[in-house]
Amino acid sequence: MSPYRAVIATLAGYLGALHALRPDVALTAVVPEIVVRRRWHRLLHGGTPRRLRRALRDLPGLVITSVPIHLTR
């Protein structure tokens, strides 16, 4: 995998460093989730938000918000 596409570990590390600098501040991570019409489209769009939430859920002081984005075509 290209290092430019490896966002999950990078983002988790960045948010962990922010929490270490300011443990009194609550952070919010907004995770977009693509909602598709057909079931087989989930194979293309469904993995990253789930892996991102799993990587971020154990960080202290972090609120994870999922925002659905509906694809109409």
* pLDDT (mean) for 3-10: 79
The reported pTM is: 0.73
Contact 10, 56 (CB under 8 A): no
Query: pLDDT of 33-71, one tens digit each?
Result: 888 888 777 777 667 888 888 989 988 889 999 999 887
Domain ranges of the chain: 8-70
Nearest to 55 by CA among 4, 5, 6: 6
